[in-house]
Amino acid sequence: MIKKIAILQSNYIPWKGYFDLINSVDEFIMYDEMQYTKNDWRNRNKIKIGQEISWLTIAVRQERLSQKINQIQVFDPKWAVKHWRTLAQTYAKAPYFDQYKDELEALYHTPGFTNLSQINSAFIRAICGWLGITTKLSWSTDYQLGEGKTERLVQLVQDAGGTDYVSGPAARNYLDAALFAQAGIGLHWMDYSGYPEYRQLGRGAFEHGVSVLDLLFNTGPDAPKYMKSFVQPDVVSVA
């Protein structure tokens, strides 16, 4: 029986491709035992305001360079109020904003939201529900970690009972494909090209790389029609 696994760091309100990856596998492992990196997707993402692209960033406290993602704490306790206000102002006129606003606002008002991994996980799980994605979500801490960049991934796939590993295309630069082959694990790559456009608020060029919230607010229940994993279930290629 085939069981596809994807392993990736948690991101804050990620873009649609992130959720296509989740929807393409049987289990998605959030790999937050990795080192936190500044100016990355862990604590920020983009939305479109008018003709401009703007960042929503959670100010965090990084106490040392070696700190893991799941150890990162929020620095600004008012981040959630600010982000919710920005989203509400930006998307108030979006066709389907009202459909999600109550649940989303409740998320932003969650008490004790101080750990970045917990914040990211809560939004990812909620968005998966809105999109109808039923993939199992787990943490790398649920499993034993080995040594070595690729070796760790191979072991995680094995421990999760996986037969195949699905990766984002950027990992081609560092993954050792031979180690997956030696372990009898099929290696596949996501294809993020060729997304269809939808009607975005504002003017200017269409922007694919914004948070998936943009897609949900503008297309509502039709959002899966603009995601490749729903329209083309086989959106991965074999290594």
Q: Where are the domains of the chain?
A: 4-238
Q: Phi and psi dihedrals of 232, rounded to 5?
A: -125, 85
Residue 57 has a pLDDT of 98
The residue among 215, 195, 218, 229 whose CA lies nearest residue 46 is 215
Question: How would residue 148 be classed by pLDDT, with cut points 50, 70 and 90?
Answer: confident
pTM of the model: 0.96
Q: How far apart are CA 53 and CA 46, in angstroms?
A: 6
Instruction: Indicate whether 236 pLDDT > 90.
Output: no
Model confidence pLDDT, tens digit, residues 177-189: 999 999 999 999 9
CA 111 to each of CA 9, 78, 114, 121: distance values in angstroms, whole numbers, following the listed order: 24, 12, 9, 15
Tell me the three state secondary structure of residue 21. helix
User: Residue 36 carries which DSSP code?
Assistant: P
Q: Calculate helix-pair angle for 212-219, 116-131, nearest 10 degrees.
A: 30
Q: Phi and psi dihedrals of 134, rounded to 5?
A: -110, 10
Residue 233 has a pLDDT of 65
Model confidence pLDDT, tens digit, residues 2-21: 999 999 999 999 999 999 99
Residue 100 has a pLDDT of 98
Single-letter amino acid code for the residue at 94? A
The first and second tokens of residue 43, run together, are 């604590």
